Chain A
Amino acid sequence: MLKPLRRFTLSPEKSPFFYLLPVLLFMSVMVAYPIARVLYFSFTQNILTRPDLGVTFVGLQNYVTLFQSAEFWATFTRTALWTGLSVAGKSLIGFLLAWLLAKEIAWKRFYMALLLIPWVTPMVVAAIAWRWVYDGEFGMLNWVLTELHMLSDHYVWLGHKLSAFVATAVTDMWLGIPFMAMLFLAGLQSIPREVLESADIDGASSFQRLRLIILPLMKPVILVATTLSAIWTFNSFGVIWPLTKGGPVNATTTLVVEAYQRSFGAFDIGMGSTIAIVIFVILMLFTLVYYRALMRREEL
């Protein structure tokens, strides 16, 4: 038998550090190091395929160039609009579905299973399937609309700026709705039955119930869900790239598509990293909001 070692006793205050050490090491290698490296790259001029231009440290020059270009602000606005459209759609439809599913209806489990399909579909697979739905010549959407006589001629959904913008957002909604619906459903079910019953007794209409009881009680859940969804949507690359590659022209070029194009199309690592850092900062702000919303929820 081994003798117990006395030399390595630790105070309860200090010992957690050692327990956390493996994870901390792992996180610093897998997360902190790449971020630091991208940050460093963003201070350099470095185009991999253009060694003739040289690799130099340029300080904040990339950021200055970026913030001075009108194109960047256009992309920024576009990203905000696209994210807003998609998150709004996801929240509204998600809430509607959750509200329907919270009722006592037949076939509830079946509907729940159906709802989960978009969630378990890999993003790129879904995007490619939707590409065919939107196709101008062979697309299902055109077929349905012409059969219903809502459209007289085929429309190329991904070939026009506005329709491509909306169509990519709709695909993104389709993928994001199940998550929202599930969160909202959980939120709805946590509303105390007594409150709703007493509202009924007081003669509240269902709209009043929704506006005065359900929504206020759901506020923390809604806040958490939309913020989380906004973070994911802002970074949504797997939907836009297979559908349009940021086109037509640049109608669906969001910041993350732009960062990808710069880094892996032109191999302009400096500028690509700069955009990546900008995205990082924006998402940090979102995360902050999320964190606050979550904390407040726990207080409840």
Chain B
Amino acid sequence: MKRRGLMLSIVLVLVLAGCMPQGESGDGPAQITYFHPGLEQPEMREMIDELVQEFEQKHPDIDVKVQSVGWDQSYQKLVSGFNAGEAPDVIYGGSRWIASFAAMQAIQPLNAEGEKRLALYPKPLQKAARYQGKAYGIPRGFSSRTLIYRTDLIEEPPQTWEELVQVAKKVQQEHEGIYGFGVAGAKHVSTTTQYFNYLFQNGGQVFDEKGNVKLNSPEAAEALQFYADLYRKHQVVPNPLEYNREQLPILFKEGKIAMFVCGPWARQMMARAPDNEKTPYKAAPLPKGGKMANTLVSDSLMISAQTEHPEAAWTFIQYITSPKEQTQYDIERNTIPLQTKEAEDPFFQNDPYVREFVKMIDYGKPQPAPKAWEPFEEIVTQAVQRALNGEKAEKVLDDAAAQIKKQQLEPK
């Protein structure tokens, strides 16, 4: 009996010791967590891990833990985290989230140094990182859109909407088993930007300067009708309801579509020259409607309002967005230059693929900034899907605009 009691107490002591917090004393390194969505792709994971390691070597007093879930679940994970008091310290996320996160007081405004750093970026990006005049984020990823097309099937990329349909039809006539073009219509953020390209090109607006919803204007309806007609009338795209934009590069790589519109990361998802003998491609400016335009989407780094180490969080952001690191990051990821100065780097001028994306920046329109993004996305996607299902564009956009008003999503 005695021996068993002794054993028990030993086990108990061990268990209790295991429960004790460790290394919480003031002189250990400050622990911060960095949330970066979409690291399930190994190349991305590796790159971020390397970046963090470099940072930790230079700042031994800060310990960075990387957290990630897929882009699809990120918003949800973050909002739940804020409410549970378990938000990561540094957050990489869509700039479209800044408005609601800031309104929730889940992220904190940047300090004076932050304001200074933000000045290095183009004006539209600065605007996207602000909420009620205060800076809440440092832009990190940024993308314009181009048309990617098969060079072996298409000699001259289409330059207008009419040409787009013609070229696509011609490809389909000449080649069996391939669609001329591909667009997205699944329930996914990309369906909104895919449609907004045409809306902006047709002179439409989502919200006007005062923040009133303008989604049901004739221009917007005409654009949506064209978008839906690609599938319904012209039949030059595979059923869009099944695909989001991220699946288009895969369809392209497999030789199922001859053209699609995407951001620069498409190259990582397709094979690169010279490994793409079967599906050689080039990037070209978008076919234009009334005018040339495309949706600019940016991601930003933010600091949680709950963080215990705001200085360490800022030091991390400052390090990874320093002009040198940012240029390196953009070259490695094949994205387009983010900071105004960066564009001077020869890489962005010489690479024929990236160059096209850089050109499209000048025609960029920022993503609309509703009060909360996700319900807005749901409403717009619903409208696009209804149009693709054969309903009148005017009707579905009227409904969408009414919903946006009803849920008070207008950025007034």
Q: In the complex, how many angstroms separate the beta carbon of A105 from the nearest chain B beta carbon?
A: 41
Partner of B378, one of A48, A156, A265: A265
Determine whether the beta carbon of B385 is less than 8 Å from that of A247. yes
Give chain A's interface residues, CB within 8 Å of chain B: 47-53, 135-138, 156, 158-161, 244-250, 261, 264-268
Determine whether the beta carbon of A265 is less than 8 Å from that of B239. no
Determine whether the beta carbon of A49 is less than 8 Å from that of B408. no
Assuming the contacts A48-B79, A51-B104, A266-B372, asked whether A137 and B238 have C-beta atoms less than 8 A apart, the reply is: yes
B241 within 8 A of A: yes
Determine whether the beta carbon of A159 is less than 8 Å from that of B241. yes
Closest to A265 in B: B374
Q: Which B residues lie within 8 Å of A244 (CB)?
A: 187
Assuming the contacts A156-B238, A156-B239, A249-B385, asked whether A49 and B79 have C-beta atoms less than 8 A apart, the reply is: yes
Assuming the contacts A49-B100, A49-B374, A137-B256, asked whether A247 and B187 have C-beta atoms less than 8 A apart, the reply is: yes
Assuming the contacts A136-B242, A156-B239, asked whether A267 and B79 have C-beta atoms less than 8 A apart, the reply is: yes
Docked pose: A211 CA to B256 CA in angstroms: 53
Docked pose: A2 CA to B227 CA in angstroms: 85
Docked pose: A244 CA to B407 CA in angstroms: 25
B9 within 8 A of A: no
Determine whether the beta carbon of A247 is less than 8 Å from that of B76. no
B52 within 8 A of A: no
B340 within 8 A of A: no
Sample 24 A-B pairs with CB under 8 A, ordered by A number.
Answer: A49-B104, A49-B374, A50-B103, A51-B103, A52-B371, A136-B238, A136-B239, A136-B242, A137-B238, A137-B251, A156-B242, A158-B241, A160-B241, A245-B186, A248-B185, A248-B389, A249-B386, A249-B389, A264-B76, A264-B80, A265-B76, A266-B375, A267-B79, A267-B374
| Additional A-B contact list (15), CB under 8 Å, known A51-B105, A261-B378, A264-B76 | A49-B79, A49-B100, A49-B374, A50-B100, A50-B408, A51-B103, A137-B251, A158-B242, A244-B187, A246-B187, A247-B186, A247-B187, A248-B185, A249-B389, A266-B372
Question: C-beta contact mask, B3-27 vs A, less than 8 Å → 1, else 0?
Answer: 0000000000000000000000000
Docked pose: A153 CA to B240 CA in angstroms: 16
Determine whether the beta carbon of B254 is less than 8 Å from that of A137. yes
Q: In the complex, how many angstroms separate the beta carbon of B72 from the nearest chain A beta carbon?
A: 9
Determine whether the beta carbon of A48 is less than 8 Å from that of B104. yes
Docked pose: A156 CA to B241 CA in angstroms: 9
Determine whether the beta carbon of B385 is less than 8 Å from that of A248. yes
Q: Which B residues lie within 8 Å of A135 (CB)?
A: 242
Question: C-beta contact mask, B96-129 vs A, less than 8 Å → 1, else 0?
Answer: 0000100111000000000000000000000000
